[in-house]
């Protein structure tokens, strides 16, 4: 499969670093490949702009940063301005439709899902990132769905596993239900 | 206190956490430190793990006290470690020298950030490489290792403890913010206690023990405080009994031995890794995180038909002097990327001795080189 790169960007508190960690764990522990996660560090990861980058590969990874991402998950307007807008056309752009207003002249075919609203409706806004990962699972083959599920179960606090799986399925099925439209 | 809980398996963890786990696997049971970005997670992990394995974690008032506590714990017979960065490393320097003088096994981890002074607390640097070698006063040798990944820092932390126990010397792990904060898969194996090195204990009865008398080799056996062996340690120049002797003769005997126990064993201590150097016109010499960027650049150079190779310094101190001398006879140039304005390049240049050109590719800190920057230097050198 070679080298694949994913960037998740938004603001601190959206679970961006955890999303990156789950993808990395899924790829390297459960899919048995290699993954390297780098992330924002410091006050910006706790409220300011926040970013996680995961490199996934079937061979050991040398350069640990994004060169040209296959997937970008964008969760804020600022992050869209910084990374989303000018992304190359081959980059799969996934946005939270309630948080990011897309410039259709730049990105005619983004994939969007109102993950934060769906999480709010579930009663727990913190699972928006897990909904997003469910959505990612159908749309990209960088990590397998099974590995993602295992990595989520391995990463979330004890007692919240069922709820997180429910959130994951919600994101997964959203794509199945809205696949042609999004 | 609980029994030793061995943690084995595959984990997706950052370098700081992997370092702490390496220490636990190496048998480290004491940590004293003062949290500082980007080394804090080492302390944090140790504060959780040490109580689980019957060890002691102390958060000290500062870095001077931290290093002293580590030396004291080692004399009490425990494998001990601290971790710091930037200004904290400067504050530990005096007591690193004390550790060298007292021949105290211990490990000091530096997750380097960019300086001088408080500099860029959250961002990467490789700017303490010469301080690692020469930061404490006096004439001495030191051992310093440079890991390139979370798995590597786990493995090298075990190596660091082994070397410190074998040679009775503080061993420095000169890592950096990127390795410290990057997460990757780390395989933690079962580490059999008998595979680890431990300081030699005195074999003579307590009445006959002299704490700095060598028997075989240059490293004397070390007693544990409180086990009945009488000993005296001092930072002053001392004789075999450990008592101060203020003469040039005593100084000559002691300093020669402290330095020679490392210099004469350099083949055992120095580790490096070579990739495609056999036919290389240009050898990139790198250490720490920069190695991985260099690897990427060397691959790109090979794709362009440039005969480039990579020399990775795993042990930075003592410097792989003889190997660089040998390579300087078969290659045209060394390219040395480092996240500072020229430190290890000075060693490479000295050892190349004019036989091969030496080109520095500096980065002032706050990020890593782009692969293209190193590739460009390779291209220019190749012309």
Residues of chain B contacting A24 with CB distance shorter than 8 Å: 12, 183-184
Nearest to A21 among B12, B37, B295 (CB): B12
Residue B106 vs residue A43, higher pLDDT: B106
Which of chain B's residues have a Cβ under 8 Å away from the Cβ of A29?
10-12, 185
* Cβ proximity of B43 and B180 under 8 Å: no
Rounded-to-integer distance, Cα B165 and Cα B106, Å = 8
What per-residue confidence (pLDDT) applies to A88?
A: 87
CB contact under 8 A, B178 and A39: no
Report how far residue B273's alpha carbon sits from residue B288's, in angstroms, rounded to the nearest whole number.
Answer: 12
CB-count burial class (<10 Å; 0-12, 13-18, 19+) for B195: exposed
In a structure prediction context, what are the per-residue pLDDT tens digits for chain A, which is 182 residues long?
A: 789 999 999 999 999 999 999 999 999 999 989 999 999 887 666 668 899 999 999 999 999 999 999 999 999 999 999 998 888 888 999 999 999 999 988 888 889 999 999 999 999 999 999 999 999 999 999 999 999 999 999 999 999 999 999 999 999 999 767 765 55
Q: Chain A closest CA to B140's CA: distance in Å?
A: 35
Overall domain count for chain A: 1
- Cis-peptide into B116, omega within 30 deg: yes
pLDDT for the residue numbered A45:
64
Q: Which of B206-210, B273-277, B332-336 has the lowest mean pLDDT?
A: B206-210
Structure-token pair, residue A70: 């296959």
Cβ–Cβ contacts within 10 Å for residue A101, how many?
10
What residue ranges define each of the domains in chain B, with the CATH number in brackets?
Answer: 9-195 (3.40.50.970), 273-382 (3.40.50.920)
- The answer to whether B172 and B111 have CB atoms below 8 angstroms apart is no
For B347-362, the DSSP string reads HHHHHHTTSSEEEEEE
- The confidence score (pLDDT) of residue A181 equals 57
Residues of B in contact with A38 (CB under 8 A): 178, 181-182
pLDDT above 50 for B2: no
What percent helix, strand, coil does chain B show, rounded to 5? Answer: 40, 20, 40
CATH number at residue A92: 3.40.920.10
Q: A42: distance to nearest CA of chain B, Å?
A: 7
Please indicate whether, in this complex, the C-beta atoms of A65 and B368 are within 8 angstroms of each other. Answer: yes
Q: Assess contact for B10 and B183: CB atoms under 8 A.
A: no
Domain that includes residue A144, residue range: 4-178
Can you give the pLDDT at residue A182? Answer: 53
On whether the CB atoms of residues B35 and B26 are closer than 8 A, the answer is no
Q: Which tokens go with B293?
A: 């960027």
**φ, ψ at B149 (rounded to 5°):** -160, 165
Residue B370 has pLDDT above 50, yes or no: yes
Q: Is B252 exposed, middle or buried (0-12, 13-18, 19+ CB in 10 A)?
A: exposed
Q: Considering only CA atoms, which of B233, B216, B255 is closest in space to residue B75?
A: B233
Q: Using H for helix, E for strand and C for coil, what is the string for B22-47?
A: HHHHCCEEEEEECCCCCCHHHHHHHH
Judge whether B223 and B192 are in contact, CB under 8 Å.
Answer: no
Cβ–Cβ gap A29/B12 under 8 Å: yes
Average pLDDT of span B260-275: 98
For chain B, the residue count is 383
For the question of an ipTM over 0.85, the answer is yes
Looking at residue A161, its pLDDT comes to: 96
Retrieve residue B206's tokens. 């307590």
Task: Decide if pLDDT at B1 tops 50.
Answer: no
Cα–Cα distances in angstroms (integers) from residue B63 to residues A76, A104, B66, B95, in the given order: 40, 55, 5, 10
Residue of A178 and B213 predicted with greater confidence: B213
**Contacts within 8 Å (CB) and 24+ apart, B130-134:** B130/B343, B130/B346, B131/B89, B131/B90, B131/B93, B132/B172, B132/B174, B132/B316, B132/B317, B133/B317
CA B68 from centre of chain? 18
- Any A CB within 8 A of B373 CB: no
Residues of A near B (Cβ–Cβ under 8 Å) read 21, 24-25, 28-29, 34-39, 41-42, 61-65, 151
Predicted confidence (pLDDT) at residue B143 exceeds the cutoff of 60: yes
pTM of the model: 0.96
pLDDT of residue B257: 98
């Amino acid at each position: 499969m070679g080298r694949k790169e994913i960037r998740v960007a938004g603001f601190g508190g959206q679970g961006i670093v955890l999303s990156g960690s789950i993808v990395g764990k899924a790829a390297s522990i459960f899919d048995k490949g290699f993954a390297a996660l780098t992330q924002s560090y410091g006050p910006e990861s706790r409220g300011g702009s926040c970013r996680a980058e995961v490199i996934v590969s079937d061979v050991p990874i040398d350069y640990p940063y994004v060169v040209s991402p296959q997937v970008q998950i964008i969760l804020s307007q600022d992050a869209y301005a910084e990374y989303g807008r000018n992304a190359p056309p081959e980059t799969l752009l996934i946005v939270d439709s309630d948080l990011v207003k897309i410039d259709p002249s730049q990105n005619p075919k983004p994939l969007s899902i109102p993950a934060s609203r769906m999480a709010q409706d579930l009663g727990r806004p913190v699972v928006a990132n897990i909904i997003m990962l469910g959505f990612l699972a159908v749309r990209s083959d960088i990590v397998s769905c099974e590995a993602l599920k295992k990595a989520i179960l391995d990463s979330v606090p004890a007692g919240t596993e069922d709820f997180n799986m429910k959130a994951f399925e919600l994101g997964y099925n959203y794509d199945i239900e809205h696949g042609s439209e999004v | 206190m609980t029994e030793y809980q061995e943690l084995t398996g595959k984990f997706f963890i950052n370098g700081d956490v992997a370092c702490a786990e390496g220490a636990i696997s190496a048998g480290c049971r004491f940590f004293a430190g003062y949290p500082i970005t980007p080394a804090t997670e080492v302390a944090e992990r140790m504060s959780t793990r040490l109580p689980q394995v019957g060890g002691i974690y102390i958060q000290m008032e500062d870095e001077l006290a931290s290093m002293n506590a580590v030396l004291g714990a080692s004399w009490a017979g425990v494998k001990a470690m601290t971790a710091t960065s930037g200004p904290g490393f400067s504050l530990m320097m005096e007591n690193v020298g004390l550790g060298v003088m007292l021949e105290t096994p211990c490990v000091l981890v530096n997750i380097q950030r960019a300086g001088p002074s408080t500099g860029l607390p959250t961002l990467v640097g490789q700017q303490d490489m010469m301080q690692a070698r020469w930061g404490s006063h006096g004439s001495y040798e030191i051992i310093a290792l440079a890991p390139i990944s979370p798995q590597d820092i786990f493995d090298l932390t075990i190596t660091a403890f082994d070397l410190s126990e074998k040679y009775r010397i503080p061993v420095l792990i000169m890592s950096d913010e990127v390795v410290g904060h990057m997460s990757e898969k780390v395989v933690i194996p079962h580490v059999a206690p008998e595979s680890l090195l431990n300081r030699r204990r005195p074999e003579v009865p307590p009445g006959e023990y002299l704490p700095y008398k060598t028997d075989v080799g240059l490293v004397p056996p070390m007693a544990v405080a409180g086990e009945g062996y009488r000993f005296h340690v001092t930072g002053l120049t001392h004789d075999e009994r450990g008592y101060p002797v203020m003469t040039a003769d005593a100084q000559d005997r002691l300093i020669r031995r402290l330095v020679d126990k490392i210099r004469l064993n350099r083949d055992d201590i120095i580790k490096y890794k070579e990739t495609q150097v056999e036919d290389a016109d240009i050898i990139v010499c790198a250490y720490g995180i920069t190695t991985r960027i260099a690897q990427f650049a060397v691959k790109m150079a090979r794709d362009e038909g440039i005969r480039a190779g990579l020399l990775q310094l795993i042990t930075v101190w003592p410097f792989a002097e003889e190997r660089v001398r040998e390579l300087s006879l078969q290659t045209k140039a060394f390219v040395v990327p480092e996240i500072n304005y020229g430190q290890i390049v000075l060693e490479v240049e000295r050892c190349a001795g004019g036989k091969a050109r030496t080109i520095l590719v500096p980065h002032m800190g706050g990020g890593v080189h782009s692969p293209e920057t190193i590739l460009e230097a390779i291209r220019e050198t190749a012309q």
